[in-house]
Amino acid sequence: MIAELGLAMLWMAAALAVLQLVAGALALRPATAQLAGIVRPVAMLQGVLVAAAFACLITLFLTTDLSVKLVASNSHSAKPFIFKLAGTWGNHEGSMLMWVTIMSMAGGFVALVEKRLKEETLIATLAGQAFVSIGFYAFLLLASNPFERLPEPAPEGLGLNPLLQDVGLAFHPPTLYVGYVGLSIAFSFAVGALITRDVGPAFARAMRPWVLGAWIFLTLGITAGSYWAYYTLGWGGWWFWDPVENASLMPWLAATALLHSCSVLASRNALRTWTVMLGVIAFSMSMVGTFLVRSGILTSVHAFAVDPTRGSFILGLLAIYIGGALVLFGLRASTVTEGARFAVFSRESSLVFNNVMLCGILGIVLIGTLYPLLTEAMGVKVSVGPPYFNPVSSVFAIPMFLVMAVGPLLRWRDDKAARITWPVAIPALVSAASLLLVEVLFAPINLLPALGLAIAPGLAVASFMPLRGRNLRRTPLATYGMVLGHCGIAVALFGMASEGAFSLEKLAAMNPGDSQQVGPLKVTLSAIDPVAGQNWTALEATVAVSYAGGAPVILHPQARTFSNPPGNRTESALLTRWNGQLYAVLGEEGDDGRWQMRFWWKPFVPMIWYGGILVAIGGLLALLGRVASDLKRLVATDKIAFRRMRQGR
C-alpha cells in the first residue's frame, strides 16, 4: 500500500508541475494574468507531494519491503539501519527521485519566500522550474519507476554495493544533489529573467543565495567524495580525474564563476549577459554529469544505470533544456542592456579574468572527459588522465591564483596600481621566499608541485589582506566568508602540492614481526586475524606505528568480504600527524606465506580536505551575511511602503 501511495503522489506532483507550467505561461499574457495567483500555491503543494512520495520510498527501504523491485535489488534484511537508509538513494531510481524531490521542494520554497523579483519575473521563473521538473517526472514515471512491484516478493534482497556501504558515502550523494538542484533554480531564474527582459540587480540578488547555497553543497560533496575514494578504494589517491569525479567538478567550476558574476551584478549592476550565460552553463554541466552517470556509458561504482534507453531519455532532456535555453538566450541576449562599465584595472576586471580562467579549466575538463567516450564509440580506446589534466589545467589555474591574490585588494569600478603596491608586495615576497626554500631544501622537485608550494603561502597571506585597516567588528560577514574561502583554496592547494611532491610509497611482503621504514615512521606487522561485522567478514592486520622512536600507535587495515551482494572492499587504516598521514593497506597472502602490505607517507595531505571545509565555511558565512543584508533591505522597504500607505490615508 505504501508503494502505491508513493506512486500516486508522484503522479499528482507531476500533474501539478504541468499545471504550474501552463498557468505560469498563460499568466504572462494580459488576457489571462489572473492565473498568476495559483502558481505559487501549486508550486508549494507540488513540493509537499513529491517529498511525501520520497518519504514513502524511505519507509519501504527501512522496513525492507521485498515486494518492491527496487528494495529487493538494493537492500537486505540484515543490513545496518544507516545502509538501509542509504540504499534509498544508492541506486538509479531512488537517486533520481531524490533529485526530483529536492528540485520540487526548492521550487516550492522559492514560491513561498521570494519577494524581491517583479511578480511576472517570479511567475516566469516558477514556470521554468516546472518545465525542468516535468522532464524528470516523465523520466521517473515512464522509464525508472521506483515503486514498481515484483510479481512475487523476493525471499531476500540483494543488498547495496559493498563499495557504497560507507557512512561517508551515505551522505555524499544527497549533498551533491542539493548542489545540482540549486543550480537548476539558478537556471530557472536566468530563464525567467530572459523571458521577461528583467536582467538586473534584483534578479541577481534573488538568484545569489541559491547559487551560493548550491556552491557550498557542491564543495562539501566533492570534498566528502574525494576523502571517501581516498580511504575506501585502497589506491592511496585523492583524485584520479575519473569521468564521474569530473562530472561533479564541472558544475562546481561553473558555479564558482556564476557566484562571482552574480555578486558583481547584484552589487555593481555589471556583467548582466555574462551572469545569465553562466546560469545556463552551470545547470548544463549538472545535466552533462547526470547523463554521464546514468546513461550506462561509464563503468564506475557511481554509475547507476546500464540501460541505454534511459541514457537516451536523459540525452533528450539535456538537448531540450540546454538547447532551449541557448535558443532563448540567442533570441533575447540583444535585449539585455550593458550595465555599468568599469576600468581594466578594477575588481570587476579581476573577477572577469578569473571567470574566464575557470571557464578555461571547465573546457579542459569537459574535453578530457568526453574525448575518450567519443573515441571508444569509434572503436579506439584512449585513456586521458593526470598527464593531460594536471599540466593543461594549470595553464589556467596558476594565473587565476595570482589574480585571486590581487583582486580583492582592488577597488570597484577603477583603481591605480600604485595604491596596492605594498599590500601586494607582502604575499609576493612570501611566495618568492617559499619557492626559494623549496628549491634549496627539496630539489630536484617537479615544476607543478614547486609552483603550488610557492603560490599557496602567498595566496593564504593575500586572502587576509582585505581585512587590513578595517574595523573587524563592523566588517560584513560576506567579507569574512570571502577571506575564509580564499584561504581554504590556499590550504587545499598546499596539501595537493605537498602530496604530489613528497609522497613516499612502500610495497612490502611481510611476516608478523617484520618491520619497514616509511618516511619518518617505523611500521611493524604484529598479526593477521579474522574478524566479523554485522554484514561482513574480514582479515584484519595489526600494525604498530612509531614516529621517531616514540610510543607505537596501533592501526587495523582490513580486507572485507560481503555476502549480500557478494563483493570485496579494502578498508585502509590512517594515522594522521601534524605533518602528514600514514596510509596502510592490507593485500593478499603470497605463496610464501608472507602478506602484501602497502604503505604511503603523505606529508600534509589532510590539508586538502581541511581546505575544502574552510571553503564551505567561507561560503556559509557569505550566505548568512547576504541573507541578513537582504532581510534588512526588505524590512526597510516594507517600512517605507507602510509609511507611505499611512500618509496616503
Percent of the chain with pLDDT over 90: 64
- What is the CB neighbour count within 10 angstroms for residue 151? 6
- What is the CB neighbour count within 10 angstroms for residue 521? 22
For 492-516, write each residue's pLDDT tens digit: 999 999 999 999 999 999 999 999 9
Point out which residues pair with 575 in neighbouring strands. 582
Report which residue type is found at 629. Answer: S
Give the residue carrying C-alpha cell 551533491: 176
* Confidence tier at 539 by pLDDT (50, 70, 90): very high
Residue 376 DSSP SS3? helix
Region 442-455: mean pLDDT is: 93
pTM of the predicted model as reported, rounded to 2 decimal places? 0.93
- Per-residue confidence (pLDDT) for residue 641, from 0 to 100: 59
- Per-residue confidence (pLDDT) for residue 585, from 0 to 100: 95
345's enclosing H/E stretch is: none
Identify which of 263, 614, 624, 611 has the alpha carbon closest to the alpha carbon of residue 478.
624
Here the cell at position 286 is 549538472
In the DSSP assignment, the letter for residue 578 is T
Three-class secondary structure assignment of 316-342: HHHHHHHHHHHHHHHHHHHHCCCCCCC
Cα separation of 341 and 466, whole Å?
23
Q: Are 74 and 87 in contact (CB under 8 A)?
A: yes
Cα separation of 463 and 457, whole Å?
10
Whether the bond between 444 and the residue before it is cis, its omega within 30 degrees of 0, is: yes
What is the arrangement of strands in the sheet containing 504-510, beginning at the earlier edge strand?
504-510, 595-602, 580-589, 573-577
The pLDDT of residue 301 is above 70: no
Long-range pairs, 68-72, Cβ under 8 A, ≥24: 68/3, 68/147, 68/148, 68/149, 68/150, 69/148, 69/149, 69/150, 70/94, 70/146, 70/147, 70/148, 71/157, 72/150, 72/153, 72/154, 72/157, 72/158
Sign of the alpha-carbon dihedral angle for 195, 265, 271, 288: negative
- Per-residue confidence (pLDDT) for residue 290, from 0 to 100: 80
Cα separation of 68 and 61, whole Å?
9
- Per-residue confidence (pLDDT) for residue 634, from 0 to 100: 66
Between vectors from CA 571 to CA 567 and to CA 574, what angle results, nearest 5°? 170
Cα separation of 578 and 596, whole Å?
28
- Per-residue confidence (pLDDT) for residue 332, from 0 to 100: 85
Region 384-398: mean pLDDT is: 94
Q: Are 498 and 604 in contact (CB under 8 A)?
A: yes
Cα separation of 556 and 382, whole Å?
38
The pLDDT of residue 647 is above 80: no
Cα separation of 558 and 555, whole Å?
10
Q: Are 57 and 512 in contact (CB under 8 A)?
A: no
Sign of the alpha-carbon dihedral angle for 434, 439, 443, 448: positive
- Per-residue confidence (pLDDT) for residue 181, from 0 to 100: 85
Domain boundaries, the chain: 1-165, 416-503+607-649, 504-602
* Confidence tier at 552 by pLDDT (50, 70, 90): very high
Region 336-346: mean pLDDT is: 85
- Per-residue confidence (pLDDT) for residue 456, from 0 to 100: 98
- Per-residue confidence (pLDDT) for residue 407, from 0 to 100: 94
In the DSSP assignment, the letter for residue 415 is -
Task: State CA 251 to chain mean position distance.
Answer: 7
Task: Please provide the average confidence, as pLDDT, over all residues in the chain.
Answer: 90
Cα separation of 408 and 426, whole Å?
15
Q: Are 541 and 586 in contact (CB under 8 A)?
A: yes
Q: Which of 111-125, 161-175, 350-364, 397-411 has the lowest mean pLDDT?
A: 161-175
Region 60-79: mean pLDDT is: 91
522's enclosing H/E stretch is: strand 521-532
Here the cell at position 405 is 591574490
Whether the bond between 565 and the residue before it is cis, its omega within 30 degrees of 0, is: yes
- Per-residue confidence (pLDDT) for residue 381, from 0 to 100: 82
For the chain, how far is it from start to end, CA to CA, in angstroms? 58
The pLDDT of residue 303 is above 60: no
Give the residue carrying C-alpha cell 564563476: 257
Here the cell at position 520 is 619518518
Q: Are 126 and 185 in contact (CB under 8 A)?
A: no
The pLDDT of residue 373 is above 70: yes
* Confidence tier at 87 by pLDDT (50, 70, 90): confident
Region 285-301: mean pLDDT is: 73
More confident residue, 291 or 50: 50
Q: Would you call 374 exposed, middle or buried from its count of C-beta atoms within 10 A (0-12, 13-18, 19+)?
A: exposed
* Confidence tier at 282 by pLDDT (50, 70, 90): very high
Region 212-221: mean pLDDT is: 96
- Per-residue confidence (pLDDT) for residue 636, from 0 to 100: 67
Torsion of CA 614, 391, 408, 339, to 10 degrees: -110
Q: Would you call 556 exposed, middle or buried from its count of C-beta atoms within 10 A (0-12, 13-18, 19+)?
A: middle
- Per-residue confidence (pLDDT) for residue 101, from 0 to 100: 95
Sign of the alpha-carbon dihedral angle for 405, 407, 411, 417: positive
The pLDDT of residue 113 is above 70: yes
- Per-residue confidence (pLDDT) for residue 637, from 0 to 100: 63
Distances (CA, A) of 233 to 89, 159, 185, 299, 572: 20, 19, 34, 15, 8
* Confidence tier at 376 by pLDDT (50, 70, 90): confident
More confident residue, 531 or 177: 531
Cα separation of 213 and 207, whole Å?
10
Identify which of 44, 35, 39 has the alpha carbon closest to the alpha carbon of residue 13.
44
